[in-house]
Amino acid sequence: MLTAVLEKPGTIEVRDIVLPEPAEGELLVQVKAALTCGTDLKAFVRGHSLIPMPGPFGHEFSGIIVDKGKGVSKFRIGDPVMGVHSAPCLDCGYCRKGLFNLCEKIMSTKALGAFAEYILLPRHVVAQNVFRKPEKLNFREAAFLEPLACVVHGMEGLGIKKGDTVFIIGAGPIGLLHLLLARSKGARVMITGLEMERLKTAKKLGAERICDPGHAADAAREFGGGLGVDYVFECTGQPAIWEVSVNYVRRGGTVVLFGGCKADTTVTFNAERLHYDEIGLKGTFHFTPGDVKKAHLLLKNGVINVRPLISGAFRLGDIQQAFQKLVAGEGIKYAIVP
């Protein structure tokens, strides 16, 4: 089978490796579509601690089951499926507390390698986070399950409702998914970013206002009726943006820090603002099986239309071109179609 290997930052090689055989509880899936994402792009540009190099990468996928191990009863060979690349162990201290996204083993047992002809899904992923693909979803749309689950997790428990004001910082694929989910809850959304084409897409997807990053504070105050917005979602992972994000919410507002900064990064917030204005800061990471189920229903029921976020498709052998386009700021997400 052919698989893309990230040799080092900036270099992807397509290799021919042995087709794996599924062990008990495992599934072998023929990949029909795998999507590029921000984490993959970071790894391509500068490396990433969660994506070993050299090694296979890619983790947003959908496909067709071509083989299965003993004990797999809820799927049949030939089933079209959509899934994610990880699942909790259900046994560690964090899992026993119900903090499944913080499972001690969730990152060490994930299945990378969706940029390939086939991907082998481990037993714990098959048992918790794989679903049949609905007929009305194409494979490229179905591959959005993983990033949408991450966005669902970040909004979970906030209670966003109709008429609330939301400011999204960053109009990349994750920012646009936040826009779609917030709009599905009835929120009014303002968004900022550096790429005008992405902002135009945001406007088409329902953003009520787009703003220049240099005027974000005034725009957020005005958009929130003179008080500031109810919620800010930081989707850039830039420390300086983290620090100023608290300036955009009203008193009692909430800032969700979705974009991950580099390891060992330190940020500073205005303590007076946090304390006396009772600002909530929320970090968010990964997803739980419950989040994946909710994301699956959002896609299955057509609540979230992700089709406008797919900028084009590349064959597996041309995957380097897809990432070069993203580095140049062209497009939102590309489908790699083996």
Q: Let me know: does 315 contact 292? Beta carbons within 8 Å.
A: no
Q: Is the distance from CB of 210 to CB of 191 less than 8 angstroms?
A: yes
Residue 298 lies in a domain: no
**308 by DSSP, 3-state: which?**
helix
For residue range 23-78, what is the model confidence (pLDDT) as tens digits? 999 999 999 999 999 999 999 999 888 898 999 999 999 999 999 999 999 999 99
* b/e sequence 207-238, b meaning 16+ C-beta within 10 Å: bebbbeeeebeebbbbbbeebbbbbbbbbbbb
Cβ–Cβ under 8 Å, residues 256 and 284: yes
Are 92 and 181 in the same domain?
no
Determine if residue 47 is left, alpha or beta; phi over 0 gives left, psi from -120 to 50 gives alpha, anything else beta: left
Written in H, E and C, the secondary structure of 30-71 is EEEEEECCHHHHHHHHHCECCECCCEECCCEEEEEEEEECCC
Model confidence over 263-280: pLDDT tens digits? 899 999 999 999 999 999
* 24 & 138 share domain: yes
Q: Considering its fold, how many domains does the chain have in total?
A: 2
- 0.85 surpassed by pTM: yes
Whether 132 and 178 share a structural domain: no
Q: Is residue 297 part of a domain?
A: no
Q: How far apart are CA 202 and CA 211, in angstroms?
A: 11
Q: How far apart are CA 161 and CA 122, in angstroms?
A: 38
Does residue 295 fall inside a structural domain?
Answer: no
CATH of the domain at 111: 3.90.180.10
CATH number of 264's domain: 3.40.50.720
Sheet holding 229-234, edge to edge: 209-211, 188-192, 165-169, 229-234, 249-257, 280-283
Local confidence band at 262 (pLDDT 50, 70, 90 cut-offs): confident
Residues 275 and 314 in one domain: no
Residues 17 and 64 in one domain: yes
- Which of 64, 58, 56 is CA-nearest to residue 139? 64
CA distance 19 to 13: 17
Structural domain range at position 171: 157-283
Q: pLDDT for 105-164, tens place per residue? A: 999 999 999 999 999 999 999 999 999 999 999 999 999 999 999 999 999 999 999 999
Question: Which pair of tokens denotes residue 249?
Answer: 């919410």
